[in-house]
Structure 1
C-alpha cells in the first residue's frame, strides 16, 4: 500500500510538473491569434433618433464605459488591419435561453463590416491611428538592439510635423502591454501633448514589423526594457531634455526596468503606469487560477522559468528570473516620481502588486485608485484619467523648476 501511495504521489507530481511547464511556456510565447470570444448576435436601431445598437455575447461585453471592438482578426501579426468599431455604454440587456446578451450603441465602424456572426474582443484601445488624436505626427524608424523598429512621433498641439528635430523639450515614451500593439497607448497621449511633450508611441520586440525576441518569446520586461532604453537614447538625440515613460500592463514592468537599468536612465523624470504588472509571482498564481488550474501551478511555473527549464528571451541567459519582478525589488530600484492608475476590479493583473509597490515608495509613488477592468480604466473615466495624469505632469514640472 505504501509503495502504491508513493508511486501515486510521483505520478501526480510528474503530471503537475508537466502542466506547469506548459503553463510557463505559454506565459513566454506570443499567442498566434488574439482572443475571439465575443460574438455579434444582432444589430438593430432604437428610439426616435434611430440609434444603432449591436447585440453581443461573450467576455467583457457588459463592462461599464466605452470600448473598441476588434473583430475578424486572422493573425496576431496583422491585427492592425482587422475590423474596428467604437462602442458606447450598455443600453439594453436580455436573456436568450442560457445566454446573456447586451446591446451597446455603435458610435462608429472604422474598418470592416460589423455584421451578425463576426467574432472578436472588447479592448480599451479606442484609437487605432494617431491621426484621430488631431496632433501633428509622423512614423519614424526606431533603432533597437536587435534591428530596426518603428514608432509614431506625435508633436504637441502647437507644433507642426515639420518641427525641427533639434528642438529641446520633454518627451513621453508610451509602452504597450503583452500581446497588445502600440495602438493600445494612443489614448494616453493627449495629456502629454497638451502639456507640451513630444510623444513617442513605440513598438518593441515581437511586434509586427519588428525583430522577434530571443527564441521568439517574451522576457516579461527583463528583455524588452533594452528596447525602451534604446528609444530613450534616440529621443535624447532628437533633443529630449527629459522623458516620462508611460507603461500599460507589462509595459509598466518594462518602463520600471528601463528607468532603473538603462544607460539613459538619468533622463527619465517620471513614470505613469496603467494596470501595471509589478508582482509577477502573484500574477502567475492569478493567471493559473484564470486558466482553471490550481494556484500551485503558477508557483511551479515560476520555479521552472527561474531555473531556465523553459528557455526565456533574455539575451545571454536561459532563465527568466521572476524574483527580479516583485513589488519590493522593483520599487527599491525606482527613484523617480511615479503615478499608478490601478483598479481593484482588475481580474487579469491583481492590483495588489501596485498597492505593495506604492507602499514601498510612499514619498514618490502616487496611487490613483480607479474603476474598471485591466487596462480599461481610461474607458470608464477618461476625464479622470486625463486630469490625474495632467496634474502629475504639473508636479513633475514644478519639481524640475525648483
Structure 2
C-alpha cells in the first residue's frame, strides 16, 4: 500500500476515533445532566459561606452572592438542613460580604454554622402563620400523602386553592401564598406529591417533570370536590407549575378549576433544559440527547425512569391554544434556574387568558421575598377579577 494512502487511512481512522470519543463524552455528560434533573437530591448544596454570627446584635455576615444580595426576607438552611433561621434586610455590604438581620432561629445552632443555603421558604408550618389548620392525608395512587388544610377567614366555603411546590423542595415552600388566598375567601390545600420526601415514593424514585406528579394533584382535586369545592385555583411553583398544567388538561375534575397561578414556572421543559445546558457551557447536542433519554424506553437504562416521559405534552407554549382558563404568571427575568422566556411566550400566545407579572431582580421562586407587597397585590387583584364558575 502506498505511503500516502496509509497516511490518509490513518488520518480517517484517527478522525473517526476522535468523533467517536466526542460522541461518547457527549452521551456521558447527557446522562449526568438527565439524572441531575430527575433524581431527587438527598441533600442540597450549602452554597453560601457564613462569615460570622452575632446573636446578641441579631446580625449575620454572609459571602456576597446573587442570592445574599437580594433585598427582602429569606430562609437560611444550615448544618445539612437540620438548622433553619429566618433572615431579614441588608444592613451593610462590602465587595465580598453582606450583613443581614437575623429575624429568628427556628432550629439548630446558627452560631456554629459555617455554610448555608438561602431559599424563598419563610414559614415551616401553618402554625408560623398563626392560622388554624388540620393535618390531613390525600389518598393518591401511591398511598396517603400528607397535606395541610387551612380554612379561609370567615369559615369554610366553596372556593379552594391547591398549592403545589416545586422540584427538590417540600410543601412549606408554598405557605407564603396562603394568607392572600385566605383573605380572599379560599380554603387552602397545601399538598405533597410523590418523591418529595413526604409523600410516598414511586417505584423508580424519579421525578417525572409533572408527567406523573399530576396524578397526586388530581387526587387533591378529588378531595377538594368531595369536600364541597366548586371552584378551584391551582397554584404551582417551579416544577409545580408544570404539574398543575398537566392536572388542568388531564384531570377528570378539571371542570372545577376556575384558574391557574404559576410562580417561576416551567411551562416548557425544552426551554428549561436549553437554559441549563447554556449556563453550564455544554455542547448543544447534550440537550437533544437528554430529551432522547427521557422519551425513549431504552433511556430508562441510564436514567432509572420506569416509563418514558411525554416531553411534547409538557410544552405549553406549543399547546397554548388548549388552555381555556385564566392564568396568572409571575416570573423574574433573572430567575437563574428556569428562564422566563417560555412564560413570556405563553403570555404572548394567549393574551386573552394569560396575565403576566414581570419581575427583573427577584431570582427563582423568591418574588414574594423580594417584593411582598407587589406579589400579593398582583395575586389579590387577579383573584378579585377571576370570573366565578357556576356548576
Instruction: Please report the TM-score for the alignment, with normalisation by the length of structure 1.
Output: 0.89
Query: Of 107, 110, 116, which aligns to 1:114?
Result: 110
Aligned-partner Cα distance in 2 for 1:298–1:131? 43
Verify the 8 A CA contact 1:330 1:357 in the aligned structure 2.
Answer: no
Offset of residue 293 of structure 1: 2.5
Offset of residue 144 of structure 1: 0.5
Match of 2:92 in 1: 92
Alignment pair present for 1:32 and 2:42: yes
Match of 1:162 in 2: none
Match of 1:68 in 2: 75
Query: Of 187, 191, 195, which aligns to 2:184?
Result: 195
SS at match of 1:190: helix
Offset of residue 43 of structure 1: 1.9
Match of 1:103 in 2: 99
1:292-349 superposed Cα distances (whole Å, 9 cap, x missing partner): 433432222112212234329xxx9621122222232342332110000011111110
Alignment pair present for 1:184 and 2:168: no
Aligned-partner Cα distance in 2 for 1:84–1:158? 32
Offset of residue 290 of structure 1: 3.7
Verify the 8 A CA contact 1:151 1:202 in the aligned structure 2.
Answer: yes
Query: After the TM superposition, which residues 50-65 of structure 1 pair with which residues of structure 2 at under 5 Å, given as runs?
Result: 51-57=57-63, 59=65, 60-65=67-72
* 4+ residue segments displaced more than 3 Å: 289-292, 398-401
Query: Of 8, 29, 39, which aligns to 2:18?
Result: 8
Aligned-partner Cα distance in 1 for 2:312–2:28? 22
Aligned-partner Cα distance in 1 for 2:112–2:283? 37
Query: Of 179, 190, 215, which aligns to 1:226?
Result: 215
SS at match of 1:105: strand
Alignment RMSD: 2.1
Aligned-partner Cα distance in 1 for 2:298–2:43? 25
Structure 2: where are the runs of 5+ without partners?
Answer: 1-10
Match of 1:163 in 2: none
SS at match of 1:115: helix
Aligned-partner Cα distance in 2 for 1:331–1:89? 39
Aligned-partner Cα distance in 1 for 2:99–2:315? 40
Offset of residue 168 of structure 1: 4.4
Aligned-partner Cα distance in 2 for 1:211–1:43? 38
SS at match of 1:368: strand
Match of 1:294 in 2: 283
Aligned-partner Cα distance in 2 for 1:311–1:334? 31
Alignment pair present for 1:254 and 2:261: no
SS at match of 1:327: coil
Rg (Cα) greater in structure: 2
